[in-house]
Amino acid sequence: MTTIDDPSRKAVVLLSGGLDSTTTLAIARAEGRRCFCLSFAYGQRQSIELARAAAVAGRLGAERHLVLRLDLDRIGGSALTADLEVPKGRAYEEMERAIPVTYVPGRNTIFLAHAVAWAETLGAGEIFIGVNALDYSGYPDCRPEFLAAFETTANLGTKAGVEGRRFVIRAPLLHLSKKEIIRKGLALGVDYGLTHSCYDPDAEGRACGACDACRLRLKGFAEAGVKDPVAYRTRG
Amino acid sequence: MTTIDDPSRKAVVLLSGGLDSTTTLAIARAEGRRCFCLSFAYGQRQSIELARAAAVAGRLGAERHLVLRLDLDRIGGSALTADLEVPKGRAYEEMERAIPVTYVPGRNTIFLAHAVAWAETLGAGEIFIGVNALDYSGYPDCRPEFLAAFETTANLGTKAGVEGRRFVIRAPLLHLSKKEIIRKGLALGVDYGLTHSCYDPDAEGRACGACDACRLRLKGFAEAGVKDPVAYRTRG
């Protein structure tokens, strides 16, 4: 039987190996949580991020790192999982205006649903996710109203939820700018050289510097007044 | 780009190959929907149901049948995916009282999230699911309040939802008894001999006749006054 033995201590942390989820893990660790990190091999073209996620989980003292397979590439509909071109050099205003082709249908719902399932099995009460509604790519599943609705769904659809042991979705970066996220991570000792954000890395894993993820990341480092430690193959 | 080209016609149907989902597919077909059936190889011990799902999809004229892999057995916490004993011979009152060990953490949330993702890619507006809140095993993710919360989440977390092309979760069996479900299916010409419900089949795929799924099914056929056409290895 599932028992939520100490909900204030165990947490499932969704970890892509990117800047945001790495900072989120550092925050959960700083809060004293025992962190169970969850990543997905979902057919993403930037699969190098899984190796980075493993390195980050090890460095930040995660209790465990579980990588689950998903067949999202068989569903398609995204430049990250299908043979569509990743947009490059978009202006920030453009990112704010429309949902880009790098949007993956249902991704965060699927990720969170697995995180809740694992949390229920582990007896964890919290799920940490590094979504951000400020410096982000316009994905609908990164918005606070989505997270609130998902939390309600999770508590109605699980044994633990029905039995009154409530799951909480924690999104500590939700209202931070990229600059603030980076400053917070650096204050917690995060080595951003371990992380990977680019949607279109080359064979050596070097970032393109031009996709939305790279541009948001570079803007954040510039505003924080710090050099981004990862390798770029082109850089403006 | 995703376009919901004709939402009243295309539908994603979650199909396990069991009695309920097969009847649900027959209802969707009778309503004139072009049905895209979705099944999951999730590490279930009753994996024979996937072959039955394929047979059912073919017989009922589904447009496509997609089987996606999930690593739910690596999450565990259920008698259907881990090495726990499937309960046998439970009284109906007992089924109504407590959530059994065959409950799979997060299962319907994960299934529905994939269904919505595929619906978005296909341009489908409806997702059919064969859940039932009357003659069921007490699973929290089969209740109307869960489905309503999930529908809200899906519409907030997807591009199509945000753009106003609403997803609808259809659960036509929700308030039917097993007897009513069987009568409806038979009226629509369903061959229940193709279906599989048992949680603990033998190597030849014969049903045990004693697990919750078998007992609910047998009770339904008995009340409908019809003989269940599937093979049982023991029968009370």
Domain ranges of chain A: 10-224
Q: Out of B114, B140, B162, name the one closest to residue A106 (CB).
A: B114
Residue A69 distance to chain B (closest CA, Å): 6
Residues of chain B with Cβ-Cβ distance to A105 below 8 Å are 2, 116-118, 120-121, 158-159
Residues of chain A with Cβ-Cβ distance to B121 below 8 Å are 75-77, 105
Residue B231 distance to chain A (closest CA, Å): 32
> What is the pLDDT of chain B when averaged over all its residues?
89
Q: pLDDT for B149-177, tens place per residue?
A: 999 999 999 988 888 889 999 999 999 99
Instruction: List, in sequence order, every residue forming a beta bridge with B70; answer none if it has no partner.
Output: A70
Q: CB B61: neighbour CB atoms within 10 A?
A: 11
C-alpha to C-alpha distance for A35 and A12, rounded to whole angstroms: 6
Contact B114 A75 (CB under 8 A): yes
- Token output for A99: 């949902």
| CA-based nearest residue in chain B for residue A108 | B157
Q: Given this model, what pLDDT does residue B53 score?
A: 97
What single-letter amino acid sits at A189? G
Q: Given this model, what pLDDT does residue B156 score?
A: 95
Q: Given this model, what pLDDT does residue A2 score?
A: 38
Nearest one of B177, B222, B111 to B235, comparing CA atoms: B222
| Alpha-carbon distance values, A224 to A132, A180, A220, A221, A229 (Å) | 17, 7, 6, 5, 13
Instruction: From first to last of the 236 residues of chain A, give the pLDDT tens digit.
Output: 334 455 559 999 999 999 999 999 999 999 999 999 999 998 887 788 999 999 999 999 999 999 999 999 898 878 777 777 888 888 777 776 677 788 888 999 999 999 999 999 999 999 999 998 876 667 888 899 999 999 999 999 998 888 888 999 999 999 999 999 999 999 999 999 999 999 899 988 899 999 989 999 999 999 999 999 999 986 44
Contact B193, B207 (CB under 8 A): no
Whether the CB of B39 is below 8 Å from some CB of chain A: the reply is no
Inter-chain CB pairs, A–B, below 8 Å? 147
Which 3 state secondary structure label does DSSP give A207? strand
Residues of chain B with Cβ-Cβ distance to A149 below 8 Å are 149, 152-153, 156-157
C-alpha to C-alpha distance for A45 and A199, rounded to whole angstroms: 7
Looking at residue A7, what DSSP letter applies? T
DSSP track, B74-127: HH--STTTSS-PPPBS--HHHHHHS--TT--TTHHHHHHHHHHHHHHHHT--EE
pLDDT exceeds cutoff 60 at B1: no
Residues of chain A with Cβ-Cβ distance to B1 below 8 Å are 101
The better pLDDT of the pair B214, B133 is held by B214
Residue B24 distance to chain A (closest CA, Å): 21
Instruction: List, in sequence order, every residue forming a beta bridge with A207; answer none if it has no partner.
Output: A232
C-alpha to C-alpha distance for A89 and A93, rounded to whole angstroms: 12
| CA-based nearest residue in chain A for residue B2 | A77
Q: Out of B105, B121, B153, name the one closest to residue A158 (CB).
A: B105
> What is the pLDDT of chain A when averaged over all its residues?
89
Pick the CATH number of A10-224 from 3.30.300.30, 3.40.50.2020, 3.40.50.620, 3.40.140.10: 3.40.50.620
Nearest one of B15, B85, B7 to B25, comparing CA atoms: B15
Q: pLDDT for B93-140, tens place per residue?
A: 777 667 878 888 899 999 999 999 999 999 999 999 999 887 666 788
Residues of chain B with Cβ-Cβ distance to A158 below 8 Å are 105-106, 140-141
Contact A72 B150 (CB under 8 A): no
Q: How confident is the model at residue B3 (pLDDT cuts 50, 70, 90)?
A: very low
What single-letter amino acid sits at A135? D
Q: Given this model, what pLDDT does residue A164 score?
A: 85
Whether the CB of B164 is below 8 Å from some CB of chain A: the reply is no
Nearest one of A143, A165, A141, A145 to A155, comparing CA atoms: A165
Q: pLDDT for A200-232, tens place per residue?
A: 999 888 999 999 899 999 999 999 999 999 999
The better pLDDT of the pair A150, B204 is held by A150
For chain A, positions 83-122, list CB contacts with chain B under 8 A. Answer: 99, 101, 103-110, 113-114, 116-118, 120-121
Whether the CB of A232 is below 8 Å from some CB of chain B: the reply is no
Contact A153 B156 (CB under 8 A): no
Work out the angle between the directed axes of helices A48-59 and A19-30 (0-180°, nearest 10).
20
Contact A162, B99 (CB under 8 A): yes
Contact B101, B143 (CB under 8 A): no
Q: Out of A71, A143, A159, name the one closest to residue B68 (CB).
A: A71
Contact A75 B153 (CB under 8 A): no
Whether the CB of A177 is below 8 Å from some CB of chain B: the reply is no
